[in-house]
Structure 1
């Protein structure tokens, strides 16, 4: 765990859960594994606060526990799962993907589960139906009309069928010493496991949910609403999903992001029809292909032809030509593995990730050091090892400029220098000095720079918000007053009077602040896309064959 990753994890924990959870989580990251008593002693926090912080982290799958060094008879030890903390960077992307695939209902389902870590199906359906009912415009939802539970259940079922949601694994025993374990008031605390270790993680329980979402009640109906909420909690056992909690399957979202990146790259390199063929191949094998597989399952040309969308109207000879073009392309996104069924084709996932990472590195070099440096960088990637004179000749760059560019790239660790002596004494006059680019270490270096960049963006956003805290609180109070007046049917003059409580300079300052925060948020999302590509490439090189 590098210093930049620890810093970024601390910033994410502080932003989402507060200072206490951030202090506990950061200390666990630095210490590795600790018992509850040791953690409370070293952080100098009350034991109760440490327990609650661990509950929050385990509820969101960011912390796990197990038997300690003394075995089952010893105290329970806790450790942080840093990878799941970094997933918080992609929460907006997960939600947007669910919206694009399954509409507003899928968006709210994923948002609610991400916000709470894990939920039962019945409570998720009820919460989402209530939110959709409340947000329904009066034009499309006349008075008394509400969102039916069955529609939310259908969206939830589709998310589970496509593996975007999965059951939380059953709670694992951490030893016999329960005095050190966290007595959590949360519904369940589980240790994250792989889906293949929990074979029923995609099986939907049988629940009998009937009804519709409820609109927000007025203040005089508060007691009745509380009684209804209590009744709903007692009815959970009748719905058949008591103790069955669901969480977001981050790995499945990441596979979807990887597939979309490959499709986009094929579209930019060739054309839209080629990308649609690759999309069809990925869609046909998205559930059956293991997460770390180097290739998708082999598909025959006949199967691909039958699965293509009818709107493209691609004839079989045209499809064969496109497949040949994809196989012969230097990027090697698609490979051929056999001749049965008109030819067997696969998508080369690891090769595609390597090419995407390579394009990212080239883009970074071009943006930071110019097009000539990028030309030298691409040349070294292609030729592997070159002397300085060869670089000058192949890149067609003057000797002085090539020397300066090579030394600049060398100082930034983007290019490495390899010495090959002719004699054992390593005399400079009898030694070859070859420049080379090692793509994997360079990708790791760029990944650390990306972590640092995202941390700087988060700190800047938090600083901007803190500096304008008073103005933001005033704006929120006025918006709340306006909402309450509009709900009671206030006159236009009264609404205008409340709006004028914010002066023109304050309104201009608010607009400028919102513009800056939006730019910082957009920058975070763009840098996270680069982080995802580099992480996927690095993980693919470390995956077992």
Structure 2
């Protein structure tokens, strides 16, 4: 479930980019979940045309996914679901461009067009790319633009758009729940439904990352003559050549392309972990770690980095001092870096990004606790997070070597601000009866931390908009 500040931030982004009317529709979907067109109209008291146009804008920019669901026995209804993460990704567009600028600079104009316009055909990308060329400069050829787009598709930075309206039965996702635990299960239902819709709408990897096929042009095309589709149809070609040309024409004129946010966030996550890991590396191991990250295979898993040993060695030889390193030295360093191999592919090493990101996130939260409550709170909170379960008060005192009064007062502050939970335990020891308290880090402390980040980003965005309005008043 999206937090209140997260919704306000997302709605603010949509309002800045597309106006208040589209933001109003987005806000309705974020707060109420999947809704039909009629339900949105009824809730917002807008005309069907206004709501429909707003939904088209949100779908065009990958912020809403439509899907069909059963209604009654023989009817279906189209529902619309806001994709919260895709809305927030709009704040990262400059970082996405920096990734392409570093990896595939010749394709930067193409990815910029997709980020700005959401979904485009290849013909639209060609027209936009040519229009961006300054006067007097050489315009890129169509085949050159095709090649640059295929580079993005091959690297999984660009994908074919998902199914426009997949069929999903939300009741299938729902699991039977008891009345006592109904609320947590409903929370799981919302999350799993959104993920199910996204997964169902996605094409298979073979379709999703299918490049635009190249076709051999006739001599008339090479000489600069325009291609006549009527003449082309009359040419006698083999069945295979006709199919190839047809597939290419469809891919150019009908297929919609969009940026693959999943791959971009994976690259940013990988870069963050690589930079964070460098600070803790031993002397002489930096080239091996860099080679491991550079040799990463393109896979669907975005929670880990997998690199073949041959690719690591190949890139290592290109670095200063890397040619003299032996295979045993490299494998030993990779194992020290917590890179693992599997029985299925012993020649490839995998590093778990998810664990490192979670560890870094915990460190950030702990640093905020230290800044707000002091060193004692930092020590206690880190102990509770590390233990991952209930810890008795006396055990906290013994482990942290802190004064009893300080521990009690600090635990009370953390409990009051929803960082920790407590529970009273009763026990019978011999003939006596004793009660003691156990403490654990609250299961929602990470969500609370993220909500605080949303709140800070929202305040910063409002301040920037306010300053911009003041500047406009001064100018005019």
Question: What TM-score comes out, normalization by structure 1 length?
Answer: 0.66
2:368 aligned counterpart, secondary structure:
helix
1:107-164 CA-to-partner distances (Å, cap 9, x unmatched) read 3322211111101123213312332425xxxxxxxxx333423554443222111010
Match of 1:33 in 2: 34
| Cross-structure match for 2:460 | 457
Deviation at 1:415? 2.8
In the other structure, the counterpart of 1:267 is 278
Confirm or deny: 8 A CA contact 2:150 2:212 kept in the other structure. no
Please show how residues 250-399 of structure 1 align to structure 2 within 5 Å: 250-271=261-282, 274-288=285-299, 290-291=301-302, 296-297=305-306, 299-300=308-309, 304-314=312-322, 320-321=328-329, 323-328=331-336, 333-337=338-342, 345-384=349-388, 385-399=390-404
TM-aligned CA deviation for residue 282 of structure 1: 4.2
Tell me the equivalent position of 2:88.
86
Shift of 1:246: 0.6
Q: What residue in structure 1 maps to residue 154 of structure 2?
A: 161
User: Which residue of 390, 396, 418 corresponds with 1:413?
Assistant: 418
Deviations 1:439-490 (A, max 9, x none): x532122112112222222222222223333235x4xxxxxxxxxxxxxxxx
1:249 and 2:260 correspond = yes
Match of 1:529 in 2: none
Residues 14 and 21 of structure 1 are in contact (CA less than 8 Å); yes or no, is this contact kept in structure 2? yes
Q: Distance in 2 between matches of 1:196 and 1:109?
A: 22
Equivalent position SS for 1:133: coil
1:206 positional shift: 4.2
Instruction: Tell me, in whole angstroms, the C-alpha distance in 1 between the residues paired with 2:326 and 2:435.
Output: 55
The 8 Å contact of residues 67 and 164 in structure 2, kept in 1 or not, is answered as no
What displacement does 1:27 show?
Answer: 1.5
Shift of 1:19: 0.7
State yes or no: 1:101 paired with 2:106. no
User: Residue 289 of structure 1 contacts residue 296 of structure 1 at CA under 8 Å; is this kept in 2?
Assistant: no
User: 2:474 — aligned with what?
Assistant: 471
Contact persistence 1:327–1:336 (CA under 8 A): no
| CA distance in 2 between partners of 1:339 and 1:61 (Å) | 36
Alpha-carbon distance between aligned partners in 2 of 1:72 and 1:461, rounded to the nearest angstrom: 51
Q: For the Cα contact (< 8 Å) 1:54–1:63, is it kept in 2?
A: yes
- Contact 2:287–2:319, Cα closer than 8 Å, also in 1: no
In the superposition, the TM-score normalised over structure 2's length comes to 0.75
Deviation at 1:51, TM superposition (A): 1.4
Shift of 1:266: 1.4
Tell me how far 1:410 sits from its aligned partner: 2.2
Equivalence for 1:19: 20
Cα distance in 2 for partners of 1:381, 1:172 equals 43
Structure 1 residues 109 and 471, CA gap change in structure 2 (3 angstroms):
farther
Q: How far did residue 245 of structure 1 move?
A: 1.2
Q: Quick check: 50-59 or 23-32, which moved more?
A: 23-32
Aligned equivalents of 2:284 and 2:114: distance in 1? 37
Tell me, in whole angstroms, the C-alpha distance in 1 between the residues paired with 2:345 and 2:470: 67
Do the aligned residues in 2 keep the contact of 1:392 with 1:399 (CA within 8 Å)? yes
C-alpha separation between the residues in 1 aligned to 2:392 and 2:452? Answer: 28
- What is the DSSP-based 3-state SS (H/G/I as helix, E as strand, rest coil) of the residue aligned with 1:259? helix
Query: Contact (CA 8 Å) 1:33, 1:79: kept in 2 or not?
Result: yes
What does residue 173 of structure 2 align with? none
How much does 1:421 deviate? 2.1
Number of residue-to-residue matches in the alignment: 412
How many Å separate the matches in 1 of 2:20 and 2:415?
41
Once residues 303 and 315 of structure 1 are traced to their aligned partners in structure 2, the CA distance between those partners, rounded to angstroms, is 14
Query: Counterparts of 2:7 and 2:22 in 1: how far apart (Å)?
Result: 14
